Structure 1
């Protein structure tokens, strides 16, 4: 029997949902059927014109064209700016355990950056010198030795190495390990607020909707230790003006830190070979056991 979908479009939806009944993987079957149900409901509610539908296809096509295997992931950026990344984060970390809060991974991580010594300077470009230090602990307050902290941030021009090909390889990136007492120390430069890339479809979407592209100043951390759950998070400068309007909704109050003025030639400056005044932030990370 031929069905007139113009007269009964709900039958179409049910036929598409039924087409996935034979999916062997139960979770995939549930995901696909739910996707169809919600996507069709959106189309039914908004009744897009064919021109609008083609515009959406072009937007997704251009988003894919802006992705590469190294430093640019426009789909992650799209997910971030729509709040989907933080919603997934919230769903997967909804139970309070005492561990440090998580936040978005971001689109500019690069694997295999240099392993650095305790307190080594990862800044190869100019900026306000800064030391970030503290401990990595478990939820019982015990130190986590030999935890690996993968750290990355932008330069003063608001761009990451790799994204900005003029920056030296590995600039403002590094992998640090905690000592036997769980201590870590990173010498770097003061992070700055910066706009997410606006040269692609996500930037056009923000412009068309009157949204700004700015992220507050932060350092990225991915912390891993045997027997513990991997932590992906940021540390935000508590003085940044964009904390309440982060373009990717990633700020959590528990992840804000103060950068204190420190004088030249004090004990810490001598330990980490800092020639003049600098800033210092202290933060203890707490990991869940796996």
Structure 2
């Protein structure tokens, strides 16, 4: 049982949906992003997705791309991101942390070394958007063997023939991308998302959490109402980009979390 498994079991027992918040590590600098990260659980955030800044983020919209650029310009590295997690864990040993990003920085570090360091820092799961199931031997299976969940994305274009392949080595939860395209590009619609979530849940016992296109407490409630939870990224990152304080950013995330929890 990872912290992710434990958290979703607790939420299910309480009849609550999950709220997952995304921030970019090192945006706009390591100190600020760490302060935001530390403030999120107290506002009701159940799981933290921590972005790994990368120079070529192909799945990300302008908001997340700019966050990554700010982080890289501020000197953020993979090592500093692991250091952030380790520092967070000194005060919080229960909130699940999912590292999200691209394979290149992990490959450059070396998979075995990365997994050892990630586990030691306190990372519970990985979402690596550019590693398809056909490449599971690269990272997915080694991560699972190291006790780290490998969370797969399903999308509106993941048909019934493809879905079993996507699910075969997935653990923790399934991340359903509510729209086709990049992050922050359109609004999620519960009427469209609901049937897709039901289709995925018919094929797996894992929780299904929906991300992309959620930016208000009302949308968070609507989407969480047809899934096991929801993810908000771009809307929170915009607050950071606007220069809001860590307390203000966390309060904004808290309002979204309240929406999801009211579903």
TM-score (norm 1): 0.26
Higher normalized strand content (fraction of residues): 1
Higher normalized helix content (fraction of residues): 2
TM-score (norm 2): 0.28
The higher radius of gyration belongs to 1
Q: Larger relative contact order (C-alpha < 8 A, sep ≥ 6)?
A: 2
